[in-house]
């Protein structure tokens, strides 16, 4: 049961929104950018001996950072949508620079929901630094980073996360959870952004003349 718990907590932690302390992020190489242009999702990360994990994922989205930001910064886009197991989000505190969100996660329908509280710090249209301030898990923290590409017509999205569940979990479970859920989350964001882009393109243009 703990394995199932960790698996879904990993999934929902991906919806939390500088860099994880101690991490040195390398720039994207030409070869990596070519892979991203083809639609690949790039993953890096490791699990150390204490079952604490660091993971990073990157995806290229064919939309401006402003459009991508409107999805990444909005918890309602994640709850029951991009993250199916994130059932409710209550805003504890919110202003243009920070927020505190109280989240409820449904692991399995017949089990009680799990609660966690996350504090986020915003640099609009650029990055979100976040950290756990209450609830399940010993520690999780990380960053969403948005970088313009192709003269602002595309956005390179990087997600970095550190997670420590606070109890022993086999390394293969941690790796499997991270490698499965991170691409799903990044793909979900890309799909939602593409949907918004198509809605905007299809909207009628009203003349004021």
Residue 205 lies in a domain: no
| 44 within a domain of the structure (yes/no) | yes
Q: Which range is least confidently modeled, 87-91, 160-164, 167-171?
A: 167-171
CATH code, domain carrying 148: 3.30.530.20
Contacts of 157 (CB under 8 A, 6+ apart): 58, 59, 60, 61, 68, 72, 144, 145, 146, 186, 189
Is residue 206 one of the residues assigned to a domain? Answer: no
Range of the domain at 117: 2-18+29-197
Looking at the domain assignment, is residue 71 inside a domain? yes
Q: How many domains does the chain have?
A: 1
Q: What is the pLDDT of residue 190?
A: 95
**100, 4 Cβ separation under 8 angstroms:** no
**Average per-residue pLDDT in the chain?**
77
The answer to whether 83 and 189 are in contact (CB under 8 A) is: no
Element spanning 31, H or E: helix 30-37
208 inside domain: no
Least confident range from 13-17, 23-27, 154-158: namely: 13-17
DSSP string of 70-115?
HHHT-HHHHBTTTBTTEEEEEEEEE-SSEEEEEEEE-SSTTSPPEE
Burial class (CB in 10 A: 0-12, 13-18, 19+), 82: buried
Angle at the Cα of 87 (from 166 to 77), degrees rounded to 5?
Answer: 105
Whether 38 is in a domain gets the answer yes
Q: Is residue 209 part of a domain?
A: no
Residue 24 has pLDDT above 60, yes or no: no
124 to 38, 96, 152: CA distances (angstroms): 28, 8, 15
Q: Is residue 189 part of a domain?
A: yes
């Amino acid at each position: 049961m703990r394995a199932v718990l960790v698996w879904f907590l990993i999934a929902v932690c991906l919806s939390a929104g500088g860099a994880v302390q101690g991490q040195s992020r390398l720039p994207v190489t030409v070869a990596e950018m070519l892979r991203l242009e083809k639609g690949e999702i790039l993953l890096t990360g490791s699990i150390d001996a204490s079952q604490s994990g660091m993971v990073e994922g990157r995806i290229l989205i064919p939309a401006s950072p402003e459009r991508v930001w409107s999805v990444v910064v909005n918890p309602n886009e994640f709850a029951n949508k991009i993250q199916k197991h994130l059932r409710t989000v209550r805003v504890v505190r919110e202003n243009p620079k920070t927020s505190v969100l109280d989240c409820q996660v449904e692991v399995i329908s017949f089990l009680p929901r799990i609660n966690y509280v996350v504090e986020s710090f915003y640099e609009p249209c650029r990055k979100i630094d976040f950290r756990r301030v209450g609830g399940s898990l010993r520690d999780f923290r990380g960053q969403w980073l948005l970088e313009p590409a192709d003269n602002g017509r595309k956005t390179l999205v990087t997600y970095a996360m550190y997670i420590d569940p606070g109890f022993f979990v086999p390394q293969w479970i941690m790796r499997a959870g991270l490698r499965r859920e991170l691409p799903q989350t990044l793909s979900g964001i890309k799909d939602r952004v593409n949907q918004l882009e198509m809605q905007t393109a299809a909207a009628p243009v009203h003349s004021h003349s």
